[in-house]
Amino acid sequence: DIEIVTLSLTIGARLITSTFGISDAGNISIIARDAVSFDGEDSEGFPSGILSGVLPNAEGNGANIKITTDDSLFITNGALISDSTGGLGSAGGIELNAKKTVLFDGETSYGFSAGTVSQVNPGAIGNAGKVEINTDSLFITNSGQVSTATSGIGDAGNIIVTANSVDFSNGGLLRTSTASNNKAGNITLNIKDNITLTGSETGIFANTTKNSTGNGGSIIIDPEVVNIFDGALISVDSQGTGIGGD
């Protein structure tokens, strides 16, 4: 565990835990009193943040990543929290807890989005992990994204958000998808007050891609108010032969 007052990773600084052989990756737990922020990229375009993976030919599970702050969590300008599997084993789960705000915003200079990703890569055998976010206010803006996906032999993880309010704009995405024979994850939004989605490339999506055969996930939302403006979407669909979710 890392217990700290505040944590800032910038200019490509990263915490990395992976498995190369027959073993599990080590877990990462960060407990902070004040804000936690990951921002930007290094000179070669690699993002700041936390990366965990089961590498190709490895046998073992990815790390669980947990961040808890009494303040806010900022993931900006292409910074990334990623947990993936490319070998034989499942990716770990990602849990983000911030009393005030969680923000995903912006891209790297190469167009890679700030966000949180859990995925099963092509050729991997194992499931993606669950992504769980607990906060007062969640913002996903300017092409930021939270996603789970599968392109291998294994299901995409579920996404669960518990918050008072959610605001996505200017291409902010919450998405789960499958490009394989396996199932996309479900998206559950436990929102006390309101959800606001703004902009034509903004939305909440559970889908299957072309040529996939796995089933899509479902979207479950329960706020008092849902505001959808300027072409934003909440969408469940199947572009493959699998069945779309609810």
- Per residue in 36-58, pLDDT (tens digit) is 999 999 999 999 999 999 999 99
- Residue 49 token pair: 């943040």
pLDDT one-digit tens code per residue, 156-189: 999 999 999 999 999 999 999 898 888 889 999 9
- Residue 209 token pair: 């891609």
Residue 216 pLDDT greater than 90, yes or no: no
Q: 57: alpha, beta or left, given left = phi > 0 and alpha = psi -120 to 50?
A: left
User: What is the three-class DSSP state of 12?
Assistant: coil
Nearest CA-CA partner of 196 in 232, 146, 158? 232
pLDDT attached to residue 244:
65
Residue 243 pLDDT greater than 80, yes or no: no
72-101: average pLDDT:
96
User: What is the three-class DSSP state of 244?
Assistant: coil
Please return the burial class of 13, using the count of CB atoms within 10 Å of its CB with bins 0-12, 13-18 and 19+: middle
Which residues does residue 210 pair with via DSSP β-bridges, in sequence order? Answer: none
pLDDT attached to residue 109:
92
Contacts with 106 (C-beta within 8 Å, 6 or more apart), sequence order = 76, 77, 78, 113, 114, 141, 142, 143, 144
Query: Does the model's pTM come out above 0.85?
Result: yes
pLDDT one-digit tens code per residue, 4-20: 999 999 999 999 999 98
Residue 235 pLDDT greater than 80, yes or no: yes
Q: DSSP states of 67-80 as a string? A: EEESS-EEEETT-E
